[in-house]
């Protein structure tokens, strides 16, 4: 739920149970998909607090309106989504070559950008709270917490520089 729209519904839900943030997911997906043409190997997935995983095709043209995006999320959760750009999938193989970006962790090093998988938290200020990936290294992009879309832009810029993509 979006706290800016659903304050009255969230008031009785403990903070630790307020996990799904479609507003943050929307901005994050728009940010990453804006760079899709520069990232030919993009494999984009997201998960819900219920443990479901979804794959987002890199050719997806998401609606810019949050309300239209919420409609897609509602359809996904109800298994009534008829589109082909977002599909339910199995949990990706997040192996030893996975780096978790978090507001806590060691400073980003160039070797971190050579990993195969990158995980970003969709909570406010880039927090990541999934215990399944406790063994993966946590890395921070900046000494202070960043909003997800800011962290994604900063990461993609550094990633493109390291991989010598011509923009």
When divided into structural domains, the chain yields a total of 2
The average pLDDT across 25-42 equals: 91
87 and 15 in a common domain:
yes
Distance, in Å, from the CA atom of 61 to the CA atom of 84, rounded to the nearest integer, reads 11
Distance, in Å, from the CA atom of 72 to the CA atom of 98, rounded to the nearest integer, reads 29
Q: Which is more confident, 126 or 58?
A: 58
Structure tokens at 45: 């997935």
39 and 19 in a common domain:
yes
Work out the mean pLDDT of the chain and round it to a whole number. 81
Kindly indicate the confidence band of residue 2, based on its pLDDT and cuts at 50, 70 and 90: low
The average pLDDT across 82-92 equals: 91
Q: List, in order, residues 6 or more apart from 84 with CB less than 8 Å away.
A: 57
**β-sheet with 86-89: strand ranges across:** 44-47, 53-56, 86-89
9 and 54 in a common domain:
yes
Structure tokens at 117: 């998988």
Alpha carbons within 13 A on the beta-carbon side of 128: 26
Domain range for 97 is: 93-167
What pLDDT does 33 receive? Answer: 95
57 and 18 in a common domain:
yes
What pLDDT does 21 receive? Answer: 74
What pLDDT does 5 receive? Answer: 55
| Among 75, 92, 109, residue at a domain's last position | 92
- Integer CA distances (angstroms), 93 to 27, 41, 49, 117, 165, in order: 25, 16, 18, 9, 26
Structure tokens at 8: 């009255």
What pLDDT does 48 receive? Answer: 79
166 and 136 in a common domain:
yes
What pLDDT does 107 receive? Answer: 92
pLDDT digit string, tens, across residues 61-81: 999 998 899 889 888 888 899
Cβ pair 24, 124 in contact under 8 A = yes
pLDDT digit string, tens, across residues 3-25: 555 555 455 655 555 556 788 88
What pLDDT does 8 receive? Answer: 53
Residue 75 sits in a domain whose CATH number is 3.40.1280.10
Kindly indicate the confidence band of residue 99, based on its pLDDT and cuts at 50, 70 and 90: confident
């Amino acid at each position: 739920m979006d706290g800016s729209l659903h304050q009255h519904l969230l008031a009785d839900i403990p903070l630790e149970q307020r996990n799904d943030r479609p507003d943050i997911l929307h901005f994050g997906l728009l940010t990453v998909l804006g760079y899709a043409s520069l990232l030919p190997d993009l494999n984009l997935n997201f998960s819900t607090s219920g443990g479901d995983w979804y794959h987002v095709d890199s050719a997806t043209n998401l609606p810019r309106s949050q309300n239209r995006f919420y409609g897609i999320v509602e359809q996904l959760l109800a298994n009534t989504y008829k589109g082909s750009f977002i599909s339910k999938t199995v949990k990706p193989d997040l192996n030893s070559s996975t780096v978790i970006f978090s507001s806590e962790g060691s400073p980003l090093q160039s070797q971190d950008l050579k990993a195969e998988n990158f995980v970003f938290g969709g909570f406010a200020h880039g927090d990541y709270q999934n215990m399944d990936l406790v063994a993966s290294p946590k890395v921070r992009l900046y000494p202070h917490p960043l909003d997800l879309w800011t962290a994604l832009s900063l990461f993609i810029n550094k990633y493109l520089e390291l991989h010598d993509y011509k923009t």
